[in-house]
Amino acid sequence: MPDIVLRSNDGADHKISASTARLSRTVASLLQDLEASKGEDAELLIVPIPNVCNCTLKKVLDFCEQQRAFDDLVRASPAAQQPEVTRKTQAWRETYMKVSTDELYHLVMAAHYLDVPGLLGLCTDAMADHIRGKSPSQVRACFGLKPNLSPEEEDDIRRSNLWALS
């Protein structure tokens, strides 16, 4: 397999292995199409990623490379060491997800666009943790959203959905 370069929307190139690239279903599909059009003898495959900026793509690729390494470690480790591998994975993921709300938003969008299920799940769990226990106004403030309903419309919705608030 030739070298793979992912090119972000701002023109930055990231050289990665095929096994890492294939953790993204979108990239795996693009690779199949590019390999079919260029042939197996191509020295370099450049895959454009038009919806993801350089810094976010780098963060996504960090996740993919680490996930591939953890997957390899799980396959190579005896059953007795699996809990230790799981603890290391969990610790790395907790550290990885210490990002701002803005970064988290961009990661969710990139994970969805690139179809990286593990990252998307991790990001949506982090998003849920950000809003758990907060009121609607606190959630709006957290994500910089402006209310799109008048106070009368909000009251009407609350009255018609009392069952959800108990």
Q: What is the mean pLDDT of residues 17-24?
A: 89
Phi, psi angles (nearest 5°) of residue 5: -120, 125
For residue 163, is it within any domain?
Answer: no
What pLDDT, on the 0 to 100 scale, is given for residue 158? 82
For residue 159, is it within any domain?
Answer: no
What pLDDT, on the 0 to 100 scale, is given for residue 137? 82
For residue 67, is it within any domain?
Answer: yes
d(CA 68, CA 60): 12
CATH number for 122: 3.30.710.10
Sequence-distant (6+) residues with CB within 8 A of 127 are 104, 108
Structure tokens at 109: 């969008």
Give pTM, 2 decimals: 0.81
Sequence-distant (6+) residues with CB within 8 A of 132 are none
For residue 10, is it within any domain?
Answer: yes
Q: Provide the domain count of the chain.
A: 1
For residue 166, is it within any domain?
Answer: no
Helices (H) and strands (E) in the chain, counts: 9, 3
Range of the domain at 14: 3-151
- In this predicted model, what pLDDT tens digit does every residue of 81-135 receive, in sequence order? 888 888 999 999 999 999 998 999 999 999 999 999 999 999 999 999 988 999 8
For residue 157, is it within any domain?
Answer: no
For residue 133, is it within any domain?
Answer: yes
What pLDDT, on the 0 to 100 scale, is given for residue 2? 64
For residue 20, is it within any domain?
Answer: yes
d(CA 13, CA 92): 25
